[in-house]
Chain A
């Protein structure tokens, strides 16, 4: 009886493998049949964040929609709250089906979204990435809030603002697949090693990952403070993590000894700035980022720019930008928040 089970199992597996291989070999065409491509006098632009429900992204979406209204476009902010690559790709797939003129995407996984973005491009949809890039072949322009070097410098500068005497730095990123975070950390390490301005800083080599989860971030921060008694700065590019780290500092009673000067939203951090736990932290204006991205996408659709190096992009009310290598456009308007200016910002 056992033999028959084994036999049947083997047959089943054999069938699967054979058919699978047949499928791959016998594929008649190597890519999907093309639907009606091209976007005509199309005013539709779809903005797709990594996932919705995170205040940072939703604010960028609001900025994008505002700019869309100014330019007379139909800008929609879409997506699911599922923070996985699979979910974002499903959103993008369904976005392509709606035949927009352009898509503005913050890639949750730079590699996984590349094939689907390339498909979008092949159907005449202009692809612009913002906040988090995909592969440069899959999009025309990447609107980067801060060049990676500037991002690193801004965070390190804000660290020194908290304590000019410098000290030990520990890094927390969202996840290994967050390209921008990884690049920020690379740059920060490089600058601390080589730039005289940051000579008073040292760093812990191992990077911790928080998955953008506030509870995890708080616990990691407390554990880091235990692991390194002389820790001075907990630096994170992740917005929820920096706020949680600030709270951890208060939970551990280490106000004035440890600081969390990384990227975060003024609304989350205002309490800590007011009671002096954090003297300075930084970010940029997410709404502004969204607005610039939409403006760039619109100009691409209208053919005013093509994404080549050296092209100038003018966005009314914000400024003029130049496209750099590999289609990267740096907005480069960092904001450092302190007690003096934090009340000006409403996000």
Chain B
């Protein structure tokens, strides 16, 4: 039991924060505890949340991918172009998926084969893919998307929006991969730089490339949801939101050095950020305050666990030379 509590320590902190946030939300606005409202606004959160899930395995590996938002844009505009050309949904989806996979492979190869630092590589591809998205979309973008193409972004199954369902499915799949498969174990091992990895004959290159492809696939899904939900796609879709995606992963308790972090953490972080943002938005909190509060939450969340070191410092000082 004790090990269970220790293993999920971070999740417990998140749940605590979540409860507090929900409480504050109810106090701030009478519209907060309305299921339909929450369901409606959750839809807009899904693309970012999906990218967070996609970034998770990559960070566990000890790498990073800041080009996911650009991959979303390319996927969305390509998918939209297929709609425009009158192609059947499945074809359009597969074509854009294939391109997304290629983008993931490029990232993966540069990081794992050429052994270049992932921050630099994905900084480069972030710009390059974004430019590609603009070129595909043209100045005006594509709009008026409807029908089958829009189904993943704008329909409901009973009382649950399909995007939320998609998120739930992807979260489940990522959980299965990371917690229940050998592949997931390899990710953690590589992230911890365990010497056993090399001797076990695992191809680090392959694991990394797969992780980047996985990330790209979630970005593709996010792009499809986006195109459906906004009935349009442009080159600047999701531009500048990568910091929020990184925040989701970090807030989810995933160590940026790699080797640890659980899917449940990422999901809870998504929930927490969603609740906080919705609460502030429903209460019409001014934009400036919202920016500050989002920042403070992240800062508090990352400082709190490390405050014990502060005690160490103060106690240690007199004895050190």
Q: Is A93 an interface residue (CB 8 A)?
A: yes
Is B237 in contact with chain A by the CB < 8 A criterion? yes
Q: Which B residues are CB-close (under 8 A) to A30?
A: 155-156
Enumerate chain B residues within 8 angstroms of A96, measured Cβ to Cβ. Answer: 40
Cross-chain contact A114 with B143 (CB below 8 angstroms): yes
Asked whether, in the complex, the Cβ of A97 is within 8 Å of the Cβ of B41, the reply is: yes
Contact with A along B278-311 (1 / 0, CB 8 A): 1001101011101100000000000000000000
Stretch touching chain A among B103-111, B201-209, B312-320:
B201-209
Number of residues of chain A lying within 8 A (CB) of chain B: 60
Q: Judge if A4 is at the interface, Cβ distance under 8 Å.
A: yes
| Chain B neighbourhood of A9, CB < 8 A | 177, 183, 210, 214
Which residues in window 281-339 of A have CB below 8 A to B?
A: none
Residues in A1-17 with C-beta less than 8 Å from chain B: 1-2, 4-5, 8-9, 12-13, 15-16
CB distance from B97 to the nearest CB of A (A): 8
Task: Out of B36, B44, B154, name the residue touching A90 (CB < 8 Å).
Answer: B44
Does A35 belong to the interface (CB within 8 Å)?
yes
B-facing residues in A26-80 (Cβ within 8 Å): 26-33, 35, 46, 51-53, 76, 78-80
Please, how many angstroms separate the alpha-carbon atoms of A135 and B210 in the complex? 41
Cross-chain contact A90 with B45 (CB below 8 angstroms): yes
In this assembly, does B86 line the interface, its C-beta being within 8 Å of a C-beta of chain A?
no
- 8 Å CB contact of A94 from B154, B186, B281: B281
Q: Does B182 contact A (CB under 8 A)?
A: yes
Question: Which stretch in B1-9, B116-124, B162-170 binds the other chain?
Answer: B162-170
Chain B residues within 8 Å of A257, by CB? none
Contact B236 A81 (CB under 8 A): no
Q: Which residues of B contact A29 (CB under 8 A)?
A: 155-158
A53 — which chain B residues lie within 8 A by C-beta? 287-288
Given contacts A86-B44, A112-B230, A115-B231, contact A176 B37 (CB under 8 A): no
- Chain B residues contacting A81 (CB-CB under 8 Å) are 287-288, 290-291
The reply to whether A2 and B157 form a contact with Cβ atoms under 8 Å apart is: no
Q: Of B231, B237, B290, which contacts A80 at CB under 8 A?
A: B290
Min distance, Cβ A223 to any Cβ of chain B, angstroms: 18
Asked if A251 is at the interface of the complex by the 8 Å CB criterion, the answer is no
- Residues of chain A contacted by B214 (CB below 8 angstroms): 9
Cβ-defined contact, B47 with A86, below 8 A: yes
Contact A80 B235 (CB under 8 A): no
Which residues of A have CB within 8 Å of B36? Answer: 32-33, 35
Chain B interface residue bracket vs A: 35 or more
Check if A109 is an interface residue, CB within 8 A of chain B: yes
Closest CB in chain B relative to A220 CB, distance in Å:
16
Interface contact B287-A112, CB-CB below 8 Å: no
Please tell me if B148 contacts chain A, counting CB pairs below 8 Å: yes
Selected interface stretch from B12-20, B134-142, B255-263: B134-142
| Among A23, A99, A109, contact of B165 (Cβ-Cβ < 8 Å) | A23
Query: Known: A19-B169, A97-B37, A111-B234. Is A31-B155 also a contact (CB below 8 A)?
Result: yes
In the complex, A1→B37 CA distance in Å?
47
Taking a contact as CB atoms under 8 Å apart, the answer to whether B155 and A27 are in contact is yes
A176 and B236 within 8 A (CB): yes
Closest A residue to B201 using CB positions: A1
Q: Is B11 an interface residue (CB 8 A)?
A: no
Contact partners of A33 in chain B: CB under 8 A: 36, 156, 159
B235 close to A176 (CB less than 8 A): yes
B70 contacts A by Cβ under 8 Å = no
Distance (Å) between the CB of B266 and the closest chain A CB? 17
Which residue of chain B has the shortest Cβ distance to A115 in the bound complex? B231
Quick one: closest A residue to B282, CB to CB? A94
List residues of chain B with CB within 8 A of the CB of A98.
29, 31, 282, 284
Q: Once the chains bind, are B152 and A23 in contact (CB under 8 Å)?
A: yes
Residue A84 lies at the interface, judged by CB distance under 8 Å to chain B: yes
Q: Name, among A2, A83, A91, A112, the residue most crowded by chain B CB atoms within 10 Å (CB to CB).
A: A112
Q: How far is the CA of A24 from the CA of B210 in the complex (A)?
A: 27
Structural contact, A94 and B287, CB atoms closer than 8 A:
no
Docked CA distance A1–B204 (Å): 13
CB distance from B51 to the nearest CB of A (A): 12
Are A90 and B139 in touch, CB under 8 angstroms?
Answer: no
Instruction: Give the CA-CA distance A113 to B39 in the complex, in Å.
Output: 18
* A175 at interface by CB-CB < 8 Å: yes
Asked whether A12 and B44 contact (CB < 8 A) given A23-B157, A111-B234, A112-B232, the answer is no
A23: B residues at CB distance < 8 A: 151-152, 157, 162, 165-166, 169
Binding site for A on B (CB under 8 A): 29, 31, 34, 36-37, 39-41, 43-45, 47-48, 89-90, 134, 139-141, 143-144, 148, 151-152, 154-159, 161-162, 165-166, 169-170, 173, 176-177, 181-183, 186, 201-203, 206-207, 210, 214, 217, 221, 229-232, 234-241, 277-278, 281-282, 284, 286-288, 290-291
Known: A29-B156, A112-B234. 16 other contacts (CB 8 A): A16-B217, A27-B151, A32-B156, A35-B37, A51-B287, A52-B288, A81-B288, A84-B239, A84-B241, A86-B238, A90-B44, A109-B234, A110-B143, A111-B144, A111-B230, A112-B231
The 6 closest A-B pairs by CB, nearest first: A111-B232, A111-B143, A52-B287, A24-B151, A97-B37, A94-B281
Contact sample, A vs B, 7 pairs, CB 8 Å cutoff: A4-B182, A8-B183, A16-B217, A24-B155, A52-B286, A81-B290, A114-B143
